[in-house]
């Protein structure tokens, strides 16, 4: 199965699922908050999702992420 997420996008979404804010994710990964938001936006665009929550649900459904 072809993977949709880059390794960085996966890291960002795993932290989002653990309820980290974009600022906390940026600090954790050593990147800017804008870069975190860009990763989230890129994933939402790939999936056609209108919200972060919808993106997470879809990523779980297609088994890109696991709980």
Instruction: Please write the tens of the pLDDT for every residue from 24-35.
Output: 999 999 999 999
In this prediction, residue 2 carries a pLDDT of: 67
In this prediction, residue 3 carries a pLDDT of: 83
- Listed in sequence order, the residues at least 6 apart from 54 whose beta carbon sits closer than 8 Å to its beta carbon are 44, 47
In this prediction, residue 44 carries a pLDDT of: 97
Helices (H), the chain: 7-17, 22-29, 33-47, 52-61
**Over pLDDT 70: what percentage of the chain?**
97
- Among residues 42, 50, 54, the alpha carbon closest in space to that of 6 is found at 42
């Amino acid at each position: 199965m072809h993977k949709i997420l880059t390794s960085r996008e996966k890291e960002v979404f795993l932290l989002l699922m653990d309820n980290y804010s974009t600022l906390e994710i940026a600090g954790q990964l050593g990147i800017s908050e804008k870069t975190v938001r860009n990763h989230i936006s890129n994933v939402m665009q790939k999936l056609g999702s209108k919200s972060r929550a919808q993106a997470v649900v879809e990523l779980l459904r297609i088994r890109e992420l696991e709980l």
